[in-house]
Structure 1
Amino acid sequence: MDWRDRGLCLREDPDLFFPIGGMNSGQGVLQTDEARSVCRRCPVREQCLAWAVVAGPVEGIWGGTTEGERRAERRRAARRRTAAETAA
């Protein structure tokens, strides 16, 4: 069974994970918070987040994170790799 088949998001309206008006509108913030609350309880949150980070610019809430948060994590990971390669 694939991890996606066990996500709690399957029981929710898919639109919940794609905030209306972006993450900065009032409705978008409320929707993001609600989606994150589902993700916090999800048994496959870590797999979901790992997939979204590797997959690249994926819209919506994945693993309890926004696209901007995942983009920042990819940048941090790239800096860590560069630092490790420089130190080696």
Structure 2
Amino acid sequence: MLYPPHQPLQAAAIPPQRGPAGPAREDESGPWHTEAVCRRDEAGLFFAPSKEPTAARLSREEAAKRVCARCPVVIECREHALLQPEPYGVWGGLTAAERRVVLARRRRREMELKKAASAPRIAAAG
């Protein structure tokens, strides 16, 4: 299981293992989430408390996105959240609702490409 970068360092001290999305990225610096800026921030910034008022949620999500904006592994984090898919929290600068939109667009694009690939080709007149 990949450990979310939002966990405090002591909670994520167990080495990452193979997760549902595949093996953790290992390179000279270790798995991607070890470089995540959010590891130094409070996890509550990235995940909603129960019955959070809308204004508070929007403010918290914007603060979390500002953290993501300065993160060197924001793309890896976003792809992790899209591949899992992570149903809650801000991951890779996107909220759960924003990730659902991205996934829907990807599915629609894939369907359009498959449909275009399987459509009969009409020879150009000339």
Whether TM-score is above 0.5 comes out as yes
Structure 2 spans left out of the alignment, 5+ residues: 1-29, 118-126
2:55 paired residue number:
26
Q: Which has more radius of gyration? A: 2
Structure 1 spans left out of the alignment, 5+ residues: none
Q: TM-score, normalised by structure 2?
A: 0.65
Work out which of the residue numbers 46, 52, 66 in structure 2 matches 1:37.
Answer: 66
**What is the RMSD computed on CA atoms of the aligned residues?**
1.3
Identity of aligned residues (%): 32
Structure with higher RCO (Cα < 8 A, 6+ apart) = 1
Tell me which protein shows more helix as a share of its residues: 1
Q: TM-score, normalised by structure 1?
A: 0.92
1:6 paired residue number:
35
Deviation at residue 32 of structure 1 after TM alignment: 0.5
**Are the structure 2 counterparts of residues 19 and 50 from structure 1 closer, same or farther at C-alpha, using a change threshold of 3 Å?**
same
- Any runs of at least 4 consecutive aligned residues in structure 1 with deviations exceeding 6 A, and if so which? none
User: Quick one: which amino acid aligns to residue 106 of structure 2?
Assistant: A
